[in-house]
Chain A
Amino acid sequence: ETGVTQSPTHLIKTRGQQVTLRCSSQSGHNTVSWYQQALGQGPQFIFQYYREEENGRGNFPPRFSGLQFPNYSSELNVNALELDDSALYLCASSPPQGPNTGELFFGEGSRLTVL
């Protein structure tokens, strides 16, 4: 069983640039969520995708956007990068019965540094 994989693992961007992060969900999982974890903080919910539609969004501005593809993989796009966007971005997938049972399966994360 293949787990959640994310790419790239590390990247450096400058302020104002755009970034795309990618996530392959665990086999059989149709729901993907994205989280931002700043240094010393817990993961903060960005949004969730279910069957290619956004299915919930946290308190993040519209320059954070996403996609989910028919194979349930997902992208997180961030436009007009700001210094405060520097963080670990975590992708998590959950099985068809939904995340409300409590278990998310996380990838290792993509560490974004904005200079």
Chain B
Amino acid sequence: DQQVKQNSPSLSVQEGRISILNCDYTNSMFDYFLWYKKYPAEGPTFLISISSIKDKNEDGRFTVFLNKSAKHLSLHIVPSQPGDSAVYFCAAIKGNQFYFGTGTSLTVIP
């Protein structure tokens, strides 16, 4: 039962433009939502999070938006840089358990 879904396996964006990565979830009881970035041969690294009581959190070039009514989460990267090329996982927390999506591979074209 996939409670967190990323329906786009890949995304290509020109350098300097906005990257928008999307995530949908089914469980309205999640407490926190997060984005992790993963480079090949490395473990995922934390990028940004948002509490379920917020609708936006911003950290530099990264902004996460939460639409609870639509059970939808998005990550905006502006401006996109070639070093942002990686697999991005969204995740949700309920209690002490993390639920991850299947990932979106972002390629930023120089």
Contacts and interface: CB of A to CB of B under 8 A. Distances in A.
Nearest to A37: B100
Interface string B88-104: 01010101111111110
Interface in A87-115: 90, 92, 98-109
B4 A102 contact: no
Nearest to A31: B96
B102 A104 contact: no
B54 to A, nearest CB: 12
B44 A90 contact: yes
Given A99-B93, A102-B34, A45 B98 contact: yes
Contacts of B29: none
A101 B32 CA distance: 8
Nearest to B9: A40
Contact of A100 (B31, B46, B91): B31
Interface in A75-93: 90, 92
Interface string B1-37: 0001010000000000000000000000001101010
Contact of B98 (A33, A41, A55, A98): A33
Given A43-B44, A90-B44, A100 B93 contact: yes
Contacts of B110: none
B43 A90 contact: yes
Interface residues of A, number: 27
Nearest to A58: B97
Interface in B39-65: 41-46, 49
A98 B93 CA distance: 12
Contact of A56 (B91, B95, B102): B95
5 contacts: A99-B93, A99-B96, A102-B46, A105-B46, A106-B45
Given A42-B100, A100-B95, 11 more contacts: A35-B98, A42-B4, A42-B91, A43-B89, A43-B100, A55-B96, A100-B32, A101-B32, A101-B49, A105-B46, A106-B36
Interface of A: 4, 33, 35, 40-45, 48, 55-56, 58, 90, 92, 98-109
